[in-house]
């Protein structure tokens, strides 16, 4: 831990070493990459093995069914793939900007789930048929009374839930010992 003096004549204060920021960002990047890889692999497997006919895994509670979606969650914003792609790029930029200041590892993990989920669906929108920036997101997990979804969607929900819990419990993205 480093000890710094803010101004001449002021008391010394401890600052968080560069190490905590590195660990938080490392957590973010590792989680995001794992989510992207698992999401991409699961979608590839779904495309090879599933069809539009539901396959029961746990009765009607959990089924696997191949669908595609040109919109966002709950099939909103259909045919707005370019807009959704642009919003995804903006969100990635915002996460990247925010990541520069985090020192909390749990915040890094939460943002990693968010970044991984956004990138997983963005990859589909950019590279899948019908053509560039008009691609449809591959969905394949079906629950009763819920739209079909994928692991990228699940990752985004995990992130949103974690961030809500962190905010509710007043867990800051930066330690209170951080130097501004």
- Is 10 a domain residue? no
Give dist(CA 125, CA 129) in Å, integer: 8
**Is 124 a catalytic site residue?**
no
| Tally of domains within the chain | 1
Q: What integer pLDDT is reported at residue 149 of this predicted model? A: 94
Q: Alpha carbon of 26 to those of 20, 36, 55, 112, 173: distances in Å?
A: 10, 15, 38, 9, 14
* Backbone angles phi and psi of 62, in degrees to 5: -130, 120
DSSP-based three-state secondary structure for 38: helix
Catalytic residue among 39, 139, 170, 178: 139
Range of the domain at 65: 22-168
Q: Is residue 60 part of a domain?
A: yes
Residue 164 included in any domain: yes
In whole angstroms, what is the distance from residue 82 CA to residue 164 CA?
29
Answer yes or no: is 51 within a domain. yes
pTM of the model: 0.84
Query: What's residue 166's pLDDT?
Result: 96
pLDDT of residue 1: 46
13 domain-assigned: no
Q: What H or E segment, with its residue span, contains residue 46?
A: helix 18-49
Task: State how far the Cα of 54 lies from the Cα of 60, in Å rounded to an integer.
Answer: 9
Residues 113, 156 contacting (CB under 8 angstroms): yes
Per-residue pLDDT of the chain (180 residues; tens, 9 = 90+): 455 555 676 665 555 457 888 999 999 999 999 999 999 999 999 999 999 999 999 999 999 999 998 877 766 777 778 889 999 999 999 999 999 999 999 999 999 999 999 999 999 999 998 888 788 999 999 999 999 999 999 999 999 999 999 999 999 998 654 444
Q: Which neighbouring-strand residues pair with 62?
A: 58
Residue recorded with tokens 């930066």: 174
What was the pLDDT predicted at 180? 42
pLDDT of 133 reads: 78
Is residue 8 domain-resident?
no
Q: Is 139 a catalytic residue?
A: yes
With respect to residue 66, please indicate whether it lies within any of the assigned structural domains. Answer: yes
Catalytic residue among 39, 124, 153, 170: 153
Q: Contact at 8 Å (CB) between 47 and 124?
A: no
């Amino acid at each position: 831990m480093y000890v710094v003096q803010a101004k001449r004549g002021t008391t010394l204060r401890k600052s968080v070493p560069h190490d905590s920021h590195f660990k938080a960002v490392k957590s973010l990047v590792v989680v995001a990459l794992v989510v992207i890889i698992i999401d991409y692999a699961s979608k590839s497997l779904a495309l090879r093995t599933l069809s539009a006919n539901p396959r029961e895994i746990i009765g009607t509670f959990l089924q696997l069914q191949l669908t595609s979606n040109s919109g966002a969650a709950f099939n909103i914003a259909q045919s707005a793939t370019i807009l959704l792609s642009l919003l995804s790029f903006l969100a990635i930029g915002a996460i990247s900007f925010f990541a520069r200041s985090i020192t909390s590892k749990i915040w890094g993990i939460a943002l990693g789930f968010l970044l991984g989920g956004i990138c997983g669906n963005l990859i589909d929108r950019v590279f899948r048929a019908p053509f560039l920036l008009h691609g449809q997101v591959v969905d394949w997990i079906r629950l009763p009374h819920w739209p079909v979804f994928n692991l990228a969607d699940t990752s985004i929900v995990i992130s949103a839930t974690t961030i809500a819990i962190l905010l509710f419990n007043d867990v800051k993205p930066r330690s209170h010992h951080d130097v501004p």
